[in-house]
Amino acid sequence: MTSKAAVLKSEAEIEIMAEANRIVAQTLAMLRERIKPGVTTAQLDAWAEEYARECEAVPAFKGYRGFPGNLCVSVNEQVVHGIPSRKVVLHSGDIVSIDFGVKWRGFFGDAAITVPVGTVSPQVAELIKVTRESLDRAIDQMKVGNRINDISRAVQDHVEGQGFAVVRQFVGHGIGRQLHEPPEIPNYVRSNGSPRLVAGMVLAIEPMVNLGTSAVKVLSDGWTVITADRKYSAHFEHSVAVTENGPRILSTLG
C-alpha cells in the first residue's frame, strides 16, 4: 500500500466542502422521496443532475474515468458503480444504492444511501440497518490521534458480528479538490500501516456490505460491481471532517 499523506483542509475550505456536501445530501434526500416501484434508474439520474444544476454545482461522476452517469445507481446484487438505465425499473422488494458527488467552488462532495423499494424482506432490511450503523460507528472513531484502522475496525467488527461481509476490493478515501485523495479507508483492518487522524482531514467513509460472500466482480460494462454470489449488497457513505472537536459530518441537510 502506498501511504501518501492526506491533503489537509483549512477551516475555510471545510466550510466550502460542507456546502458542496449539503447539495449532495439534499439531492439524496430528494431522490429517497421519489424512489418507488415503477421508477427507472435513468429517471433518478435525471433528477439528480437537474437538482445539482439548480444549485449551480457540477455532477462529479459523469465523465470521471469515462463513467456515463451522473449518479451511481446499484440495485440488489449490484454493490457500487451501477450505470443508470431506462431499462432498469425498480420493483417492490428491491434495494437501491444511490451514490452522488458534486464539484462546487473547486471542492468535491460525495455521499451515498441505500433505500428499500416498497417492502423488502426482514433479512434485507437488517442488511441496510447494519450497514448504516457501521457507518455511524466508523464516524464515532474519527477523533484526532486515532488511526485509520480504528475506523476500519469499527465497520468490520459490527458487520461481521451481525453475520454480514465487508467488501475489500473497494474502499473509502480522502476527498477535497480531488474526488479521490489519499488515504484509502478500507472497511476491514489492514495490517500494514495505518495513518493517524489529524485535524483538517476530510474523509469519505463508505462501508459496502454483502449478505453473503465478500467477493465481488465487475460486469462486462466495465463499471458495475456485483456480488460474486448475486446476493444483495448495501452501501452508505458520508464525507466527514476530522476536527479538534471531533468528527463533523459534512454530507448532511443541517
Q: How far is the CB of 38 from Mg ion (least distance, A)?
A: 29
Q: Say whether residue 94 binds Mg ion (CB under 5 A).
A: no
Q: Which range, of 58-66, 108-116, 139-147, 207-215, touches Mg ion by CB under 5 A?
A: 108-116
Peptide bond into 195 cis (omega under 30): no
- Nearest approach in angstroms of CB 91 to Mg ion is 27
Amino acid at 197: L
State the amino acid at position 23 in one-letter form. Answer: I
**Smallest gap from residue 172 Cβ to Mg ion (A):** 6
**Dist. CA 49–CA 66, nearest whole Å:** 17
We find the least distance from the C-beta atom of residue 203 to Mg ion, in angstroms, to be 10
Name the minimum Å distance from CB 67 to Mg ion. Answer: 12
Q: Which helix (H) or strand (E) holds 155?
A: helix 148-161
Minimum CB separation of residue 164 from Mg ion in Å reads 20
The conformational region for residue 198 under phi > 0 = left, psi -120 to 50 = alpha, else beta, is beta
Nearer to Mg ion, 51 or 100 (CB): 100
How many binding residues for Mg ion (CB under 5 A)?
2
Residue from 57, 96, 204, 209 binding Mg ion (CB under 5 A)? 204
Segment interacting with Mg ion, rule: CB under 5 A, options 2-10, 40-48, 122-130, 202-210: 202-210
Cβ closest to Mg ion, residue 49 vs residue 206? 206
Report the residue from 94, 110, 181, 184 that binds Mg ion according to the rule CB under 5 A. Answer: 110
Distances (CA, A) of 146 to 84, 97, 140, 166, 198: 38, 29, 11, 21, 8
Looking at beta carbons only, is 150 or 181 nearer to Mg ion?
181
What x-and-dash track marks residues 111-130 binding Mg ion by CB under 5 A?
A: --------------------
**Nearest to residue 113, comparing CAs of 91, 137, 93, 97?**
97
Nearer to Mg ion, 39 or 135 (CB): 135
Q: Check: CB of residue 47 under 8 Å from CB of residue 33.
A: no
Three-state DSSP class for 251? coil
For residue 112, the minimal CB distance to Mg ion (Å) is 7
Q: CA-CA distances (angstroms) from residue 83 to 87, 178, 186?
A: 11, 22, 23
Window 14 to 53, contacts with Mg ion (CB under 5 A): none
Nearest to 223 by CA among 71, 80, 49, 46: 80
The residues binding Mg ion (CB under 5 A) are 110, 204
